[in-house]
Structure 1
């Protein structure tokens, strides 16, 4: 292993600490009684505190020094005074351990008292400290001189590959994680208050289903059978509706063996909910209420900022049919058109298509290329052609369409729902059509007919 000069020096310091009888990685509990945020919110001069965190800056000034400690809630200034830390003749804890053997990134425990500096900085005067974990690799810390930041950790690939370092040196990133948890909690409380049940469904499945996507495949050695990583949990949740639950939801890890970009990851989290005796019109109203509730729970307001846009999640949202959207942005009316006519139109729009694409896939390509990115504020795209939606119920007024919607925000789909198809004969015919598309070369069409799911539908599934 090739070590940098700094890594070599840190390992030498590690050895020196051990020579001094200091365990650089102690196992015993450290008795915290507060954190940086609580100190600032409930500051009291002379109050004794016990905190811990990572050293993010050290400014040594002879017998007295300052440092910045970062914990899970923020940063707080530390004041180290040699004679406060080392009461007797032996000053080695300050002169050697603190000044020479500690580095940025080290975790330390601090016991001290609160005071305010002459410039008004809330500070902990250190009475004693303990090394809790020695950092052997220097953090990619930005440098600031004369108000200008240098060497900031901004490389996108490195930040994602070393998310742990990104969180340390770019503390604002943590807010994404915090808001994600708040969002999940808000959704759970909304569903639970409505009387719906959170469930778990299989991640390893004998047949992939519930979405048009290519699965990851693994092998079960004991049974000597292939298994598929879940691409969606839809069919298993519907089985629970058949079994008698009125409403079920799940936060699921899904896996799709497809292309990657900024908005598509092979592993991702989705939430699906199914409620019996409802339709897609009810679900649009429900989703509006849910998102408004979540926005307020996370941000304190129905509005959220995304890039240059301010999005307002306050209900109600605009509703536009798929055909209306495509006609508005391209001038082409897909209503009643054949597969060949739609393929020709797509080519005339300079959209890359091929002969393996069926009618539904072609319409999807046109919408994705020409329409989707235009919807910034929350907008429902409704009434999708039947070919695009093999699990949707036929539209009650037009048999060529389905009762489906997708919710667009900032030019991206964030939700997809429909009145669920509960006719087992119709569902089998849709599966068989998908199978023909797969045999034709459409790698997003399902190659399987889920007989167990069809059997469940034959027992009867209520309107959902």
Structure 2
């Protein structure tokens, strides 16, 4: 018998749609009140009736998608799945009556169905809803992914997330886990007196980070605007205004490449605390991540799979606080084997590793040496603190050590998860550093224009403060053990179909 083509399967389903309508049933369904989640029904297992029991089990009402279907004469066994789990459904011709049985014969995989029945066990010991009535809730006109293997192609899963979610339960759990993480972050911040705000996503100046912005045009004002690349500068304005603990959790946009760790549209959390510093932010970071772990599963010794495809290995990372705090310079000494204050030695070491040094500032070379020699060795979690000041133009200098910036980055498995500063609130120094940074930048780079209003705000006195930024997508990758940022973004940016791969 020749295999049916997708077009043939679609035409078969279209014919079933017509037959369902001929039965007087609306194939698109109506509200189905008072149904319980499948997980809550499964939790009633101790109440379920045993095979042959005179008293039936408790009455239950469930709804979900038909994922499996086996026909044995006058009995259909279905697997019904909702976003909390799956359960077997027994549909017997004698038990549901002729009208419901006629409907049952027209069912396809992926159809949406409501069941009223009783909870019990089959002779093989399977917890089952024994259907008494069926309510049709939605017809699937296209076949689902291959029933045993689901949707496995990585790009297809990202492109057709709706199929990925209902055919791959682990993907659904990943995104439910992400929701728990985001909710936990908000709870932690609110419990510490932070208030959530919403800053503008379109800005006349793209500031707060060094990145290429997306540009758009406002027709009524006839001006170019930029999609924000960071949340920072507007949150700091609020510190000036007297909002002492503020945070924003929202999307930012950077017109850059796509990779396993990068998506042009991603989610950031930034928080600012008046009268704090970077030590305050370390304590806050530990609280945020520990709260997120508690929300997911409470397991602080987490197994995380790292490596490229074909060479993935499990690594256990212990998130039990407190986490180590290591200075930037001592890590360079330890892992690169050079004195970070000796530019000649740093340059020689960088060149020995194949890094290009010609025409580069010594501090830039040091930064690239750190990335090459140190980052991948930071299994973590570890706070890297006290960065070279020229790398951190928005950061307060360490008292008595103007060459050192009070900044930290949190690293886990070589990946930066959080970035924090003791914020610079000296408007004159801030303006001077901005102008130094602007010198020589190309026009398409962010911060190629001075944000004069921000400097003006600082001149009204911003309190000393600590500031923190956490990349939510990378955090979710880590805590949910997913190999790519696309696995934790519901709708990542992809190339249009037919234009090649959507990125790493």
1:390 is matched with which residue: 384, 388, 393? 393
2:335 is matched with which residue: 329, 341, 353? 329
**Structure 1 residues 451, 336: CA separation in 2 closer, same or farther (over 3 Å shift)?**
farther
Q: Verify: 1:347 aligned to 2:348, yes or no.
A: no
Q: How many residue pairs align between the two structures? A: 444
Segments of structure 2 that go 5 or more residues without pairing to the other structure are 50-56, 306-313, 466-504
Q: Equivalent residue of 2:404, what SS?
A: coil
- Cα distance in structure 1, aligned partners of 2:446 and 2:271: 23
Which structure has more relative contact order (CA 8 Å, sep 6+)? It is 2
Report what 2:496 is aligned to.
none
Report what 1:52 is aligned to.
63
Q: Verify: 1:31 aligned to 2:33, yes or no.
A: yes
Report what 2:403 is aligned to.
400
Q: Verify: 1:82 aligned to 2:87, yes or no.
A: no
- Cα distance in structure 1, aligned partners of 2:131 and 2:282: 57
Segments of structure 1 that go 5 or more residues without pairing to the other structure are 144-150
1:40 is matched with which residue: 19, 39, 42? 42
- Cα distance in structure 1, aligned partners of 2:220 and 2:357: 43
Report what 2:201 is aligned to.
203
Report what 2:366 is aligned to.
363
1:315 is matched with which residue: 303, 317, 321? 321
Q: Equivalent residue of 1:400, what SS?
A: strand
Report what 1:147 is aligned to.
none
CA contact (8 A) 2:207 2:446 kept: no
Show CA shifts across 1:104-140 (max 9, x none).
Answer: 0000111111221112111111111122111111111
Report what 1:98 is aligned to.
104
Report what 1:156 is aligned to.
154
Distance apart, 1:178 and its partner CA: 2.0
Report what 2:140 is aligned to.
135
CA contact (8 A) 2:343 2:362 kept: no
Q: Equivalent residue of 2:405, what SS?
A: coil
Q: CA RMSD in A?
A: 2.1
- Cα distance in structure 2, aligned partners of 1:67 and 1:353: 65
- Cα distance in structure 1, aligned partners of 2:91 and 2:232: 59
Report what 1:277 is aligned to.
275
Report what 2:489 is aligned to.
none
Report what 1:70 is aligned to.
81
- Cα distance in structure 2, aligned partners of 1:69 and 1:265: 35
Relative to the length of structure 1, the TM-score reads 0.90
CA contact (8 A) 2:397 2:404 kept: yes
Report what 1:373 is aligned to.
376
CA contact (8 A) 2:387 2:408 kept: yes
- Cα distance in structure 1, aligned partners of 2:361 and 2:219: 37
- Cα distance in structure 2, aligned partners of 1:279 and 1:298: 29
Deviates most, 7-16 or 360-369: 360-369
- Cα distance in structure 2, aligned partners of 1:363 and 1:152: 47
**Structure 1 residues 4, 132: CA separation in 2 closer, same or farther (over 3 Å shift)?**
same
CA contact (8 A) 2:304 2:316 kept: yes
Q: Verify: 1:422 aligned to 2:420, yes or no.
A: no
- Cα distance in structure 2, aligned partners of 1:18 and 1:375: 62
- Cα distance in structure 2, aligned partners of 1:255 and 1:354: 31
- Cα distance in structure 2, aligned partners of 1:83 and 1:286: 62
- Cα distance in structure 2, aligned partners of 1:353 and 1:286: 37
Show CA shifts across 1:348-376 (max 9, x none).
Answer: 31125664x54554333222222111111
- Cα distance in structure 1, aligned partners of 2:34 and 2:110: 19
**Structure 1 residues 256, 172: CA separation in 2 closer, same or farther (over 3 Å shift)?**
same
Distance apart, 1:390 and its partner CA: 1.3
